[in-house]
Amino acid sequence: MPKAEGKTFQFEGHESIRTDFLETIDFDGKDEYIKIETDEFSAVCPFSGLPDIGRVIIEYYPDGGKIVELKSLKYYFVSFRNVGIYQEEATKRIYEDLKKLLKTNRLRVTVVYNIRGGIKTTTQMGDLAGHDRKVE
């Protein structure tokens, strides 16, 4: 891997992501569309050690009879704060962790990262299985 020019900062590995913080609430509403958004997501670029900050949008249907408890989700997101993880990997990790937790196939995770170097990056994983809601 090439080395970043200039100063670099230390960061933690993926093992610091705290999936054990995630909790669920039983919910009987399999066809209810749920959308969660936050502008307070950050992780660390493993190339430069600089923060990647973005907006996370989680959309899902609770097919597994569970919804994510929001305070636990916030703690989970904060655990990414010092982790070196590429933007695409972060989106995939959030998607996989929530898919396992919620036991649903109707899940989409989108992360819209703040512009860096004049480039806007949006990463997305999953779909809502035929439902036509789409992040703008």
Active site residues: 45, 52
Containing H/E element for 88? helix 87-102
CA dist 24 and 70 (Å) reads 9
Neighbour-count burial of 126, counting CB atoms closer than 10 A to its CB (0-12 exposed, 13-18 middle, 19+ buried): buried
Q: What is the largest CA-CA distance in the chain?
A: 53
